[in-house]
Chains A and B, each alone.
Chain A
Amino acid sequence: MTGLRVVIAEDAVILRDGLAHLLGLRGHSVVAAVGDAPALHAAVAEHGPDVAVVDIRMPPTHTDEGLHAAIELRRVHPGLGILLFSQYVETRYAAELLAGSPAGVGYLLKERVSDLDDFVDALNRVAAGGTALDPEVVAHLLGAARRDDGLTSLTPREREVLGLMAEGRTNAAIAASLVVTERAVEKHIANIFTKLGLTPTGSDHRRVLAVLRYLRAP
């Protein structure tokens, strides 16, 4: 597998360098590491990377610059994978970014770099157009209640499966995680689609819709 070309937007130099070093260990190259949103836009335009790792809080206001930059990047460069990299779980961040389509988007807490395999795996998924949501983000969204949208009728097991789908796992990975057969996972997913009223028009699309329904802001 050839290494990914990565752009990092993160205002703490020490973290930029640390992340670049770790990604380098796995054969990925950081083509640019920048400290704010305008520099991020310029770097993406110049280098055309596979994926951008974006800190949510960046100068000048240190609130949600990274999020706005990510939304803008998705508009300008639809094929670009974007991994939000934050110290906080704020479901609104995720919901805003996923409002269009969850393909090629990730949201991980910074401490996830402590497991390099998982982290690089998530980065690969995002670069390939998949999703990668932090288990914390998913857990918070699980607690979220929504009005009558079918989610309340899901069994605990189905909610668990849907949560793992939202994290961006494949059926095989979900089966491994729940210690069940892949066949059982497929059954659960079929039930989820039925309960959410998603008609069979191509399972990938429904998968995205189910996750979207699940992530929709309250």
Chain B
Amino acid sequence: MTQVPRGPAVRRAGTEALYLLVSAPVALAGLCYAVFSGALGIVLSVTRLGGAATAAVLRGACRFGELHRRLAAVLLDERVPAPGLPRTRAGLRAWVQDAHDTSGYRAFLHLLVRFPLAVLGVAVVLVTWVYGFLLLTYPIQLPLHLNEITTRDQSGGIRKGLVVGGFYFDTWQRSLLVALAGVVLLAAAPRAVRLAVRLDVAVLRSLLGPRPDDARIRDLERSRSYAVEDAAATLRRIERDLHDGAQVRLVSLTMTLTALQEALPDDTPEHARELVAAARTGAREAIAELRELVRGIHPPVLDQGLDAALATLAARSPVPTELEMDLRVRPSAAIESIAYFCTAELLTNAGRHAAARRVAVSAVQPGDGTLRLSVTDDGKGGARTRAGGGLAGLAERVRTVDGELSVLSPQGGPTTVTVTLPLTTS
């Protein structure tokens, strides 16, 4: 804690006491919330609503934590950064999942711990500031009969004034002793209050502040998002370069060979004609191969949007494919690319492994910031995510952007693979 000059020290002592008093009702409300919502959460946890209910409870606890952090920031100038995830992932499932992390549990624990601390804080303020003031003014109160205490002594006589262990402070000389005690209390008040505040802030920091790993996680997430988007941009650039470079050269070469064929004089040996024809064929095949390669890198149709790309995939699918799309917001390039390659792979799987006769692809945005892609086939089912398998590879790819892949494939089919992706990577 920094050294403060003497003048502001008085004000500081005041705001610290104020903090203890103001934060106490918040702590009481927090405890009530924790007890009631916690009980409700436990009751609901046996139902299907359990996850969502506890998520709501934990998110509420985080709100209380935020209020506490703000009080500390405004009154104490103690700025405790918020813990946990730097971003909120899109989608209801993510909303539920993200709530069940340590920062949520810590915020809930803080609600329980904060209340006894608040009681202690209020007690400290009462004992030091309020009693100190009352004792200091005792010599004035006594003759004015303010806050008069009436007791009976051992002999049965009525005595007025404070009594401590049979000693009566009922003369003005003795009342000065009381005032002296008041001075001592008031002198100790700022220190006592500060101690209480320090304890409170220490608990606040440890339960509501960031943990050492949080900053690193945030950093990693940011750099991963950059890496994923950068990779998508690089692939697109490679595709452009191939289109404007190697592919143009090859087409030009084909044209030249065609012109050469036309220019061959009539008496050209058959052998030479065959060589030119072979060269033309070779160039044509190279173009076709390059085209397939490019499609694996970055299909050009993706530039027109995911809907156009998926329509082309569905049209090219070996299994009759129905397509349902409702894409209002255009996802980022990396997301579009992942969605495209997932669909391509799943369509191939449906044809190759599942022996499906029909496939339905749907790509929708439920409006919670996600893209939900699902591929359903009427094949034989029994698809599993095996380590090193195609589905596991897809799941890994989806996870690089915090997406999810789930497989529902009973023996005998049908198989539904659902991929949920955020619309952006960060």
Interface residues of A (CB under 8 A from B): 12, 14-15, 18-19, 21-22, 25, 57, 61-64, 87-92, 109-111, 113-116, 140-141, 143-147, 152, 217-218
Contacts and interface: CB of A to CB of B under 8 A. Distances in A.
Contact of A18 (B255, B261, B314): B255
Nearest to A217: B311
Interface in B230-259: 240, 243-244, 247-252, 254-259
Contact of B252 (A18, A57, A140, A152): A18
Query: Which of A21, A61, A64, A91 has most chain B Cβ within 10 Å?
Result: A91
Nearest to A61: B303
A92 B304 contact: yes
A217 B288 CA distance: 24
22 contacts: A12-B252, A15-B248, A18-B252, A18-B255, A18-B259, A22-B259, A61-B303, A63-B303, A63-B304, A87-B247, A90-B300, A90-B312, A92-B308, A111-B250, A111-B284, A111-B287, A140-B316, A143-B316, A145-B320, A152-B320, A218-B314, A218-B323
A116 B258 contact: yes
Interface in B314-331: 314-323
Contacts of A87: 243, 247, 251, 287, 291
A115 B248 CA distance: 17
B315 A111 contact: no
A90 B321 contact: no
B301 interface: yes
Identify the interface centre among A62, A88, A109: most chain B CB within 10 Å of its CB.
A88
B176 interface: no
Contact of B301 (A22, A88, A111, A152): A88
B303 to A, nearest CB: 4
B259 A21 contact: yes
Contacts of A22: 255, 258-259, 262
A114 B316 contact: no
Contacts of A89: 291
Contact of A15 (B255, B262, B281): B255
Nearest to A146: B320
Interface residues of B, number: 42
A145 B356 CA distance: 13
A140 B300 CA distance: 16
Given A88-B291, A145-B320, A15 B311 contact: no
Contacts of B304: 63-64, 92
B114 interface: no
Nearest to B245: A12
Interface core residue of A18, A63, A114 (most chain B CB under 10 Å)? A114
Given A92-B304, A218-B321, A218-B323, A113 B258 contact: yes
A14 B312 contact: no
B283 interface: yes
A218 B255 CA distance: 35
Given A12-B244, A87-B243, 18 more contacts: A15-B248, A15-B251, A18-B255, A18-B256, A22-B259, A62-B240, A87-B251, A88-B300, A91-B312, A91-B316, A92-B315, A110-B287, A111-B251, A116-B262, A140-B316, A144-B314, A145-B317, A145-B322
B207 to A, nearest CB: 52
A57 B317 contact: no
Contacts of B312: 90-92
A147 B283 CA distance: 39
A114 B254 contact: yes
B8 to A, nearest CB: 61
B336 to A, nearest CB: 13
A64 B319 CA distance: 28
Interface of B: 240, 243-244, 247-252, 254-259, 261-262, 280-281, 283-284, 287-288, 291, 300-301, 303-304, 308, 311-312, 314-323, 358
Contacts of A61: 303
Contact of B259 (A25, A64, A115, A147): A25
Nearest to A112: B284
B271 to A, nearest CB: 20
Contacts of A140: 315-316
Contacts of B283: 111, 114
A140 B287 CA distance: 17
Contacts of A90: 300-301, 308, 312
B284 to A, nearest CB: 5
Contacts of A91: 311-312, 315-316
A159 B320 CA distance: 15
A49 to B, nearest CB: 20
Contacts of B250: 111
Contacts of B262: 22, 25, 116
Contacts of B358: 145
A89 B319 CA distance: 19
B259 A141 contact: no
A168 to B, nearest CB: 19
Contacts of B261: 116
A12 B257 CA distance: 18
Nearest to A110: B251
Contacts of A113: 251, 254-255, 258
A146 B320 CA distance: 7
Contacts of B256: 18
Nearest to A25: B262
Nearest to B320: A145
Contacts of A21: 255, 259
A144 B300 contact: no
A18 B254 CA distance: 9
Contacts of A57: 243, 300
Nearest to A87: B247
Nearest to B252: A14
Contacts of A111: 250-251, 254, 283-284, 287-288
